[in-house]
Structure 1
Amino acid sequence: MPKQPVTYVGMLWLLAASVVVMLPFALHLPLWLIPVVLFAAGWRLWVLAGGASQPQTWVKAVLAATGIGGLWLSGLQFPSLEAMSALLLLGFAFKSLEAIQRRDALVVIFSGYFLVALHFLYAQTLLAGGYGVFSLVVLTGALIGTQQSVAEFSTWQQVRFNLRLAGTMLLLCLPLMLVLFVFAPRLAPLWSLPTLSNQAKTGVSDQMTPGDIAQLSQSSELAFRVTFKGERPEQKQLYWRGLVLNHFDGQAWKQFSQTYDPLQINDVVRKEFALHSDQVQQQGTAVAYDVVYEKTGQPWLFTLTPALSLGGADVLQAADYRVMATQPLQAPLLLSAVSYPQSARDLNLVPWLRDLALQLPDSGDTRSRELAQRWRATAANEQAYIDKVLAHFREQQFHYTLRPPLLGEKDTIDAFLFDAQRGFCAHYAGSFVFLMRAAGIPARVVVGYQGGEWNTKGSYLSVHQYDAHAWTEVWQAGKGWVQIDPTAVIAPERVEQGLAAAVQAEGSFLENEHFSLRNVTWLNGVRGQWDALQYGWQRWVLGYDGATQLALLQQLLGEISWWRVGAFVGFLMLAITLGWGLLLGLARRKVHEAREHQLYRLFCSALAKRGTVRATGQTPGDFAQQAANAFPAQAAVIAEFTRVYETLCYAPQVDAGAYRQLQHLLRQLRF
């Protein structure tokens, strides 16, 4: 097979494709990989221009060793997805140094196709999808460009032609892609690599110290979106439960006295802490909804309490009514749930749960302990004591703020209740539970989110990190766990209107996000529409799992069977094939006419209008002589046009200037 070198223009296409494919990885991998790509492609162009020689084997070996050493020094863990991706990108960059022949260029381009797919492991947003399509168009344009031996048009015309052809090819593939997406079985991955993103956790943490949630509430990052299948509950009823914090060590509230990683907690829930159906007495109206959770690197799922029906994902339910995924969320997750918020829970509290809900440190916060014991001794019953504590929050000089003062490292409950009296939800929830336990009343801290922003464009609720919230549950005989939110006593607008309304006076809402679109009122409509598009992408594309596929097939075909699905897919494939046949002109094949032949046909037509007709089989040279005899004044133009045309026909290794020369000579014909 003869060698087919890549042209200079083909190398420009490779450079453009390499940069386009590499660019989004700069957000996730070492930035120095981008200059490496530019250096490798620039060297290749320099070689083609005659300014440098092809790198020798030892030079390429040194470059490869240096690149691998750079990856090692970048702190990437081996093996991991990030390390494997960076290694592939490095090979992608260095391969362009060897891209002399077309087969080398094909290796680079096909590696680029794989890298486009690889990036979706890092980002799966609508923007990432759009950029992926753009990358495919550029790569396909590069595939076309590297197969061209001569430019038939000007550079800009060639770029437009290649991109238009690439876009057309991908559009023709779109129906087949849709059929495969909708009907191909949704299989679990056969293997996986550990990722560093497992360490990058966002959202509500598994422990709470004063000020933690206040810091989280300065972020406008999306946590999850909710679509209600019936009437939407009132804003003040939207308490999205995530975690229950039972253990207090004097500073922080934690799930348990010892620290577990997420997988260990899953084992604890399965073996010792699972929810049993007899713990709940179902009451009230059901709230059915679908939730799409964002990637957080944590397993916590947020639902209305208690969620008695869960579908669409493999989850666990704990005895404290939390819902957890079996793996940390490394991709958006769709969950369908039905909750009964008015149900009674744990009317008979088991001893080990009671012990968890009464735990306090052996010492510390003496003033708060003495206050709780004094009030409990004078209260007629537990409810009277609870009312007295809430009245204390309401009547004293307590303030709700995102700028709480520091409480020190010891006696933080005392410092808040008696000295600072300024805090966020975590301060009020933690101190309230402390006062309950100090009086012998089982209580616990619940963390999650409260409220959300209703999107009128898409009719769904968006819950952001600034909606993070902490509240409490108190166990009462005959009632079970009763939800009490001390923050609602201090700042009722927080649960009725949202965080922005609660801290409007102090101006602390998202004060660190100076360029947030939320601060531009006239853009809120655009932001809502874009968010609705993002949600549609997540729910119907990223959330298209086996359960959704089964529901769609049942809607389309009724009874599901292999022959029904096969026949329907076969019909669609036949329709696609016929459509391709019509679009590609297989019934009436249109032969592509080269640019030089198009111009020569116009040349002959112009002469024919003046009475000089080219005979069938007459050579261009003979016809030029005939035309020159008929039009002596145009003899030089006719001869030059014919010479350039014959050069393009029999010696095609010329640049695009020859085509422009033909066009110029054609315009010079004057009769």
Structure 2
Amino acid sequence: MSRAATTASWPPAPARGQRLRLTGCLALVALPHLFHLPPWVSAIAATLLVWQAQAAWRSRPLPGRLIRFALAAAALGSVLAGFGRISGQEAGVSLLVMLLALKLCEIRSHRDAMVFLSLTAFLLITQFLFSQSLAMAVYLVIGTWLITAAFIDVSSEIAPTGAFTHSARLLLQALPVAALLFVLFPRVPGPLWGLPSDAGARATTGLSERMSPGSISSLATSDAVALRVRFPAGDMPPAPARYWRGPVFWDFDDGTWRGSPAADALPAADIRPVADAIVRADITLEATRHPWLIALDVPLGTDHRSRMSPGATLYAEDDIDERIRYHARSALAYRLDPRLGAAARERATRLPAGGNPRARATARRWRTQADAPQGIVDRALTHFREHPFHYTLSPARTGRDSSIDDFLFETREGFCEHYAGAFTFLMRAAGVPARVVTGYQGGERALVGDYWVVRNSDAHAWSEVWLDGRGWVRVDPTAAVAPGRIEAGVAGSLSDSQALPYMARADEGAWYRMQMLWDGVNAAWNRWFLAYGPQQQQRLLERIGLGGLRGALVALTFGVAVLLGLLALWLGWRMRQRRAADPVTRQWQRVCDRLAAIGYPRARHEGPQAYGARVARARPDLADELGAIVAGYIRLCYAANPGSADTQAFVARAAAFDPRRPRKPRD
């Protein structure tokens, strides 16, 4: 570009190439949204983008105001009809995608293009509402690069290929500031990427606040990751100890087990661990939109702010609305509530007044035949072993009011929730305190990285009975029917394991290995970036000696100041280099400075020729000499390949020019 070239303004009718590039930029940014928004939204957005691309390619005139208004109203109406609202995660993004596609219809100026690209950048950020994976992060970096290049493209005369180069350079320059802000800027508690109206719409672990037949077996069809675990001090505990405790249910009614405020008001669990059986784990938990913190059974505590419930479950202060990382301590050998209070005993033996008469009668018979509660437990487990019970993902349906009787004496088909729920009912009917515990059982070792993966398909339910002198004791009736469930996981114990998702089938083929390799990459991303919350930041700041958020803010301010100072020095050095490398411009500026010193300063709007003519009219004695300097400067500015001899001649003439030296007046 020549020295005299200036930035071009956006023409009244945007150029065909620029309009096509703007359309392509929006299409690439919106592409991931088209796959996770409803199909009808994707179809409308794709149609609008194709229409805009065709119009730009054929240089068609922009539609009139009435047509644009009608299309915008149609987009608004379709979102209202499809979602019932225009706010929220999916509805808001759907409306934004459609209106941005229509915004291409009214770009008539440089300002319109800048507004459009700013909104496109906002659309790019909304991708994190749906996915925060490493792949999405890479995609967002590419999108930022494209949008920045588009800003450069519409604001200068740089060629499109040059705009991409400039954009990449700007992003690289921004990396140090971004890294500093990521580490030191105060982290906001709670989800950063979420909308209140969508809260609770989906919970990634799948565990619920209640359990009924089919509620956990439905989770077996999902191979999504529930949590990842590292054991800093050693390997994963053996398979029989891989129980991950979640919510505990005390109340039973209408075939459903659930927690209750009355049970939550009981005293917190009294856990007395065996000293040499304590395990420490570094856990990355996916968002659940529930407050419980999953840990090995039984948990003793975590470094995350939490409380111990009466059911020995750790509860965070708020719902887990984002992926979090915490360190948990658990006891594999323990005595849990060695003394049971009257209120807890009453709660743990309560049953509805009616329903399931055959199960009640069987439990009463066992009670009369057994010498102690342990004998009742043994008889129930023997019942499951000796009768033709079947462990399956697709059991026969049972009635709501007689679900226990139907399962125990009719269908005898079920998943873990059927066995845990029926066993707990039998114990209570026999007068033995019992409750249902839900969580996960199992885990698979990662192929890359020192961690274990627990999936939704590992969701499990078991029972706890209270025995005098021992406290709450875990009893897993599923193991009595399907022993392979504990040692080999869900896939190793189901005859219909083909109904499981691929990653839960224990099929270690090429596709499985590729998925696990990618999970290792994502695990590192989750651990060091997405799980970097307020508590992790606090630990890091203390480790590097900043002493909390106040020290972080001081360090952040100092660091940004240093970076900006270094940037200013670098820019000054670059500008000095350019001045030194351009003797023609430097000598011309000196001529202007000398004329300004004798009372003829150059106005900001004056070009070289107009300025020289004005000075010549005021000082005719300088006209010839100054005219030659001006002509030489203009010739060198616009010459394709100025010769070194011409440059040296101009520099010598300009350097010798002294307007204060007396001259003979022109005739």
What's the TM-score once normalised by structure 1's chain length?
0.77
Q: Look up the match of 1:661.
A: none
Distance 1:178 1:378, change over 3 A: same
The structural deviation recorded for 1:183 is 1.1
Q: Look up the match of 2:64.
A: 56
Distance 1:116 1:237, change over 3 A: same
Q: Which amino acid aligns with 1:173?
A: A
Q: Matched residues in 1 for 2:268 and 2:149: separation?
A: 56
Count of residues in correspondence between the two structures: 580
Question: Once the two structures are superposed, what CA deviation does each residue of 1:280-321 show, in whole Å capped at 9, x if it has no partner?
Answer: 334333222222222334334322233222223x44432112
SS in structure 2 at match of 1:338:
strand
Identity %: 31
Distance 1:468 1:620, change over 3 A: closer
The structural deviation recorded for 1:358 is 1.0
Q: Matched residues in 2 for 1:306 and 1:200: separation?
A: 27
Matched, 1:468 2:459: yes
Q: Matched residues in 2 for 1:621 and 1:425: separation?
A: 83
Matched, 1:391 2:382: yes
Q: Is the 8 A contact 2:52 2:101 kept in 1?
A: no
Q: Look up the match of 1:246.
A: 250
Distance 1:551 1:357, change over 3 A: same
Q: Matched residues in 1 for 2:98 and 2:386: separation?
A: 65
Q: Is the 8 A contact 2:180 2:556 kept in 1?
A: no
Q: Matched residues in 2 for 1:309 and 1:514: separation?
A: 34
Q: Is the 8 A contact 1:346 1:481 kept in 2?
A: yes
Distance 1:560 1:233, change over 3 A: same
The structural deviation recorded for 1:619 is 8.7
SS in structure 2 at match of 1:211:
coil
Q: Look up the match of 2:97.
A: 89
Matched, 1:554 2:542: yes
Q: How does 1:447-526 map to 2 (within 5 A)?
A: 447-503=438-494, 506=495, 508-511=496-499, 513=501, 519=507, 521-526=509-514
What's the TM-score once normalised by structure 2's chain length?
0.78
Q: Is the 8 A contact 1:11 1:146 kept in 2?
A: no
Q: How does 1:338-377 map to 2 (within 5 A)?
A: 338-377=329-368
Matched, 1:216 2:222: no
The structural deviation recorded for 1:562 is 5.2
Question: Once the two structures are superposed, what CA deviation does each residue of 1:52-80 show, in whole Å capped at 9, x if it has no partner?
Answer: 43333222222222221111111243543
Q: Matched residues in 2 for 1:15 and 1:49: separation?
A: 10
RMSD: 3.6
Pick one of 19, 22, 39 that aligns with 1:11: 19
Q: Which amino acid aligns with 2:174?
A: C
SS in structure 1 at match of 2:196:
coil
Distance 1:566 1:317, change over 3 A: same
Q: Is the 8 A contact 1:517 1:524 kept in 2?
A: no
Q: Matched residues in 2 for 1:307 and 1:227: separation?
A: 16
Q: Matched residues in 2 for 1:47 and 1:385: separation?
A: 79
Q: Matched residues in 2 for 1:560 and 1:221: separation?
A: 35
Q: Is the 8 A contact 1:245 1:253 kept in 2?
A: yes
SS in structure 2 at match of 1:336:
strand
Q: Is the 8 A contact 2:223 2:503 kept in 1?
A: no
Q: Is the 8 A contact 2:503 2:512 kept in 1?
A: no
Question: Once the two structures are superposed, what CA deviation does each residue of 1:136-172 show, in whole Å capped at 9, x if it has no partner?
Answer: 1111222222234475xxxxxx44x433332232122
SS in structure 1 at match of 2:480:
helix
SS in structure 2 at match of 1:499:
coil
Q: Look up the match of 1:199.
A: 201
Q: Matched residues in 2 for 1:101 and 1:290: separation?
A: 55
Q: Look up the match of 1:418.
A: 409
Question: Once the two structures are superposed, what CA deviation does each residue of 1:89-115 show, in whole Å capped at 9, x if it has no partner?
Answer: 344233222212222111111112222
Q: Look up the match of 1:647.
A: none
Distance 1:577 1:395, change over 3 A: farther
Distance 1:524 1:588, change over 3 A: farther
Q: Matched residues in 1 for 2:548 and 2:325: separation?
A: 23
The structural deviation recorded for 1:357 is 1.2
Distance 1:356 1:77, change over 3 A: farther
Q: Look up the match of 2:125.
A: 117
Q: Matched residues in 2 for 1:215 and 1:189: separation?
A: 29
Indicate the structure (1 or 2) with the bigger Cα radius of gyration. 2
Q: Is the 8 A contact 1:218 1:509 kept in 2?
A: no
Question: Once the two structures are superposed, what CA deviation does each residue of 1:308-361 show, in whole Å capped at 9, x if it has no partner?
Answer: 22223x444321122334444332122322122322222222222222211222
Q: Matched residues in 2 for 1:482 and 1:189: separation?
A: 36
Q: Matched residues in 2 for 1:469 and 1:489: separation?
A: 14
Q: Matched residues in 1 for 2:324 and 2:510: separation?
A: 32
Which is further off, 402-411 or 558-567?
558-567
Q: Look up the match of 1:667.
A: none
Distance 1:618 1:449, change over 3 A: closer
Q: Is the 8 A contact 1:476 1:482 kept in 2?
A: yes
Which is further off, 401-410 or 433-442?
401-410
Q: Is the 8 A contact 2:83 2:91 kept in 1?
A: no
Q: Matched residues in 2 for 1:564 and 1:216: separation?
A: 42
Pick one of 260, 264, 268 that aligns with 1:275: 268
Q: Is the 8 A contact 2:233 2:280 kept in 1?
A: yes
The structural deviation recorded for 1:128 is 1.4
Distance 1:590 1:250, change over 3 A: same
The structural deviation recorded for 1:377 is 0.9
Q: Which amino acid aligns with 2:104?
A: S
Q: Look up the match of 1:662.
A: none
Q: Is the 8 A contact 1:315 1:326 kept in 2?
A: yes
Q: Matched residues in 2 for 1:68 and 1:34: separation?
A: 15
Q: Look up the match of 2:278.
A: 286
SS in structure 2 at match of 1:120:
helix
Q: Is the 8 A contact 1:41 1:97 kept in 2?
A: no
SS in structure 2 at match of 1:500:
coil
Q: Matched residues in 2 for 1:622 and 1:336: separation?
A: 69
Q: Look up the match of 1:650.
A: none
Q: Matched residues in 2 for 1:622 and 1:527: separation?
A: 60
SS in structure 2 at match of 1:319:
coil
SS in structure 2 at match of 1:287:
strand
Q: How does 1:426-441 map to 2 (within 5 A)?
A: 426-441=417-432
Q: Matched residues in 1 for 2:31 and 2:505: separation?
A: 25
Distance 1:333 1:27, change over 3 A: farther
Distance 1:211 1:70, change over 3 A: closer
Q: Which amino acid aligns with 1:7?
A: A
Distance 1:60 1:461, change over 3 A: same
Q: Look up the match of 2:79.
A: 71
Q: Matched residues in 2 for 1:300 and 1:274: separation?
A: 17
The structural deviation recorded for 1:179 is 0.8
Distance 1:429 1:16, change over 3 A: same
Mind listing any 5+ residue stretches in structure 1 that lack a counterpart?
Answer: 152-157, 257-264, 594-614, 625-671
Distance 1:311 1:528, change over 3 A: same
Q: Look up the match of 2:315.
A: 324
SS in structure 2 at match of 1:445:
strand
Question: Once the two structures are superposed, what CA deviation does each residue of 1:240-291 show, in whole Å capped at 9, x if it has no partner?
Answer: 11122222225222224xxxxxxxx6xx787x24626xx2334333222222
Pick one of 513, 519, 522 that aligns with 1:531: 519
Q: Matched residues in 1 for 2:40 and 2:70: separation?
A: 17
Q: Is the 8 A contact 2:79 2:86 kept in 1?
A: no
Q: Matched residues in 2 for 1:146 and 1:291: separation?
A: 48
Distance 1:197 1:43, change over 3 A: same
Distance 1:365 1:56, change over 3 A: same
Question: Once the two structures are superposed, what CA deviation does each residue of 1:540-593 show, in whole Å capped at 9, x if it has no partner?
Answer: 1011122222222233337569578746863576368648966997287469x9
